[in-house]
């Protein structure tokens, strides 16, 4: 009897999975909703009576019901890069020239796909089953939202055929327009404010604590990229075709193009047809189709070289500029802001837009009470792009840019060649002080739970902190009496600050807020100097000798290191045991054997993957380049090395070594 029940449960699960796939992926239902619900209820009863046959990937788990108070932060096995943007055919042609420079005379073809406007997600499958779903986050780590993703019917929990044993598939969680409009009608009928746009609503849905609430929302998942150590396909297009066959919802709007002209035909078609789609899209993603060529091209610090996003022309609206105000950044940079008559732009109500700097205001002759045109730069950040002079008021006066800081009244400075004005009162300007602390606690930096931007301003206002080192002196009894604070909030904040002492050195270095030292530069400096002490005694000449560290960054580090206030802050952070040097663990297997050597890796390898080989070069102090030049020390050549690269290396008399030669170098 037990075997029969187990067989019945498995049979129902398989039937329901297939019906889900038919309805939500293929858009072809073969049974009624009523019949589906009857089968689902039967399965729920059988699983309830036979808990020994529980399966986390059963169709019954899609109804939700689990509560998540805090979503666990997970480090991506493979980084989720962003995409470089283009806005014209010339931009795409320039991109193609860069690719051809890297690949030589190899034949190129591209895939074109729509760029979906939603929340990025990374799904991991092992042995044909979904094991986790993680948001993009900062690209290096995101939130585990598996319990909520399982409620989305178009996400397969169990695959319908064979694929690689372990892989990641990436896509976008979207909210179709019909479902979004229905949700808003229900909210308006209930007397609640409508949601602003589908993208933000989809993104917010993933972080709802009650998965049963997520299950009520008509979310969908469109997939477009697979990452695995090895794929049994030669092209991106073929990979997606196979992904569609085993149950993934891969959109049909994908096309292989032989050249940039065909790419632009695809763009022109969808620039019009996108308005007939059931969901929002803001552009086209163009990718090199051949997976080997993708591998060969690799990545920059921020984006794949083998892909680019073409953004459709930004939507533009006119409105009235009522006032110009000025924001102070953590570096003292002043940004003028247009305060506008609210206007609906690309699905969002816009009230404020950037005016960039004094030169932009003067160039466009922007004045208060002008009718101005606003668009979203890259459809993200609103900006004023021009003035409607036909509607200018007769008493209009030219805008006079402020001369003093709006927060501390210090006379502003503007250095030659710099577009922005700056407030030089670094340690006395309230906004600069709180801005540096807010940067310090941010997710990409110290990632301090229980502490946000508003709380930082409150702590500063109450005199409890005046720099980021002061955070480590905070006590619960100081925090509890503050507005909107309670014992639990105070405990979480103090615990979050304590846990930040485990954050690795490269993130701490970024958190310090040294001007021009972003995430990538911080990692490079941490790896090179190993500790804050070694970095702060480095001379300008020593700094510029480090790969990719230019004069501007070097001078900024020297200025930071020579400032007594910064030296005192660093000493305090040391006393609190903040990680100000590379850990022993992070330096395991790292040497200087390849110091000063530049490598180009090309071809297919047998003993290690291309990524493992590149990591081994960097772990031993070498530099990995994507293209061969006079600065290249060695070319590590594998099977199927590009003939043009081999010819160039031979012409430049650069030594070509194989995988075994390289391994001997580092052993």
Q: Which residues are catalytic?
A: 115
Q: Using alpha carbons only, what angle is made at residue 641 by residues 638 and 645, rounded to the nearest 5 degrees? A: 125
Q: What is the secondary structure of 182-229 as a DSSP string?
A: HHHHHHHHTTPPPPS-HHHHHHHHTT-SBHHHHHTS--EEEEEEEE-S
For 172-196, letters b (16+ CB in 10 Å) and e give bbbbbeebbeebbeeeeeeeeeebe
Q: What ranges in 336-427 are assigned the alpha helix state H?
A: 358-364
36 vs 13: CA distance, rounded Å: 11
> Is the Cα dihedral 295, 299, 305, 309 positive or negative?
positive
- Rounded CA separation 80/122 (Å): 8
d(CA 158, CA 150): 11
Neighbours of 82 (CB within 10 A): 12
- Residues β-bridged to residue 354: 337, 383
Burial 271-305 (b: 16+ CB within 10 A, else e): eeebeeeebbbbbbbbbbbbbbbbbbbbeeeeebb
- DSSP code of residue 550: -
Q: Which residues is 221 bridged to in the sheet? A: 173
Vertex 198 angle, CA 197 and 204, to 5°: 95
Name residue 316's beta-bridge partners.
375
Report the number of secondary-structure helices (H) and strands (E) in the chain: 24, 20
Nearest Cα to Cα of residue 410 among 519, 520, 328, 524: 328
Residue 176, token pair as written in the block: 């179709």
Q: Is 543 helix (H, G, I), strand (E, B) or coil?
A: helix
| Distance in angstroms (rounded) separating the CA atoms of residues 311 and 578 | 42
d(CA 653, CA 360): 50
Q: How far apart are CA 339 and CA 350, in angstroms?
A: 9
**539 DSSP β-pair partners:** none
Q: What is the C-alpha separation between 228 and 375, in angstroms, rounded?
A: 39
- Residue corresponding to tokens 């402020």: 402
Whose tokens are 């004069």? That residue is 551
Residue written as token pair 């096309």: 255
The set of long-range contacts for 296-301, using a CB threshold of 8 Å and a minimum separation of 24, is 296/102, 296/103, 296/602, 296/642, 297/99, 297/102, 297/103, 297/626, 298/614, 298/624, 298/626, 299/81, 300/84, 301/520
Residue of 449, 419, 272 whose CA lies nearest to 333: 419
Cα–Cα–Cα angle for 348, 303, 447, rounded to 5 degrees: 70
Q: Which residues pair with 335 in a beta bridge?
A: 327
* H-helix segments, 298-418: 358-364
Rounded to a whole number of angstroms, the CA Rg of the chain reads: 28
């Amino acid at each position: 009897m037990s075997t029969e029940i187990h067989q019945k449960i498995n049979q129902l699960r398989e039937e329901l999975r297939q019906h889900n796939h038919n309805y939500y992926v293929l858009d072809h239902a073969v049974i009624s909703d009523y019949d589906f619900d009857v089968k689902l209820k039967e399965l729920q009863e059988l699983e309830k009576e036979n808990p020994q046959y529980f399966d986390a990937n059963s169709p019954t788990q899609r109804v939700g019901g689990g509560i998540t108070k805090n979503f666990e932060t997970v480090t991506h096995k493979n980084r989720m890069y962003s995409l470089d943007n283009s806005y014209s055919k010339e931009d795409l042609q320039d991109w193609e020239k860069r690719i051809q420079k890297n690949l030589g005379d190899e034949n190129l073809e591209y895939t074109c796909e729509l760029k979906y406007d939603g929340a990025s997600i990374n799904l991991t499958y092992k042995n044909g089953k979904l094991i986790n779903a993680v948001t993009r986050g900062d690209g290096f780590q995101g939130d585990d939202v598996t319990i909520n993703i399982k409620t989305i019917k178009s996400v397969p929990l169990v695959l319908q055929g064979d694929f690689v044993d372990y892989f990641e598939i990436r896509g976008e969680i979207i909210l179709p327009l019909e479902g979004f409009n229905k949700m808003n009608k229900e909210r308006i009928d209930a007397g609640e404010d409508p949601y602003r746009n589908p993208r933000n609503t989809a993104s917010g849905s993933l972080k709802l604590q009650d998965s049963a609430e997520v299950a009520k929302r008509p979310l969908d998942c469109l997939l477009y990229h697979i990452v695995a150590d090895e794929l049994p396909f030669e092209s991106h297009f073929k990979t997606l075709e196979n992904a569609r066959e085993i149950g993934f919802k891969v959109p049909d709007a994908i096309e292989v193009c032989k050249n940039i002209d065909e790419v632009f035909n695809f763009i022109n078609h969808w620039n019009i047809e996108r308005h007939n789609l059931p969901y929002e899209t803001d552009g086209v993603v163009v990718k090199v189709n051949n997976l080997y060529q993708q591998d060969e091209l690799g990545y920059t610090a921020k984006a794949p070289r083998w892909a680019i996003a073409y953004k459709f022309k930004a939507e533009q609206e006119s409105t009235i500029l009522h006032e110009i105000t000025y924001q102070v950044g953590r570096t003292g940079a002043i940004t003028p802001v247009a305060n506008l008559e609210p206007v609906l732009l690309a699905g969002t109500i816009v009230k404020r837009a950037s005016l960039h700097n004094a030169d932009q205001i003067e160039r466009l002759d922007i004045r208060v009470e002008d009718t101005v045109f606003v668009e979203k730069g890259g459809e993200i950040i609103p900006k004023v792009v021009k003035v409607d002079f036909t509607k200018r008021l007769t008493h209009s006066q030219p805008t006079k840019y402020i001369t003093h800081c709006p927060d501390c009244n210090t006379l502003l400075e503007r250095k030659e060649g710099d577009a922005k004005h700056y407030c030089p009162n670094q340690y006395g300007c309230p906004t600069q002080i709180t801005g540096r602390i807010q940067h310090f606690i941010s997710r990409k930096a110290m990632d301090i739970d229980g502490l946000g931007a508003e709380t930082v301003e409150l702590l500063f206002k109450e005199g409890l902190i005046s720099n980021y080192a002061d955070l480590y002196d905070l006590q619960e009894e100081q925090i509890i009496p503050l507005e909107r604070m309670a014992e639990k909030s105070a405990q979480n904040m103090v615990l979050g600050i304590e846990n930040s002492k485990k954050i690795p050195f490269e993130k701490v270095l970024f958190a310090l807020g040294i001007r021009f030292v972003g995430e990538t530069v911080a990692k490079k400096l941490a790896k090179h100097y190993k500790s804050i002490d070694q970095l702060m005694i480095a001379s300008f000449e020593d700094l510029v000798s480090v790969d990719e560290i230019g004069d501007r960054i070097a001078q900024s580090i020297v200025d930071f290191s020579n400032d007594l206030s910064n030296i005192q802050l660093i000493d305090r952070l040391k006393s609190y045991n903040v990680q100000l040097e590379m850990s022993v663990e992070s330096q395991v297997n790292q040497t200087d054997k390849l110091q000063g050597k530049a490598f180009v890796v090309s071809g297919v390898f047998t003993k290690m993957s291309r990524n493992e080989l590149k990591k081994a070069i960097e772990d031993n102090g070498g530099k990995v380049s994507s293209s061969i030049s006079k600065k290249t020390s060695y070319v590590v050549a594998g099977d199927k090395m590009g003939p043009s690269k081999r010819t160039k290396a031979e012409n430049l008399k650069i030594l070509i070594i194989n995988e075994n030669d390289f391994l001997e170098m580092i052993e």
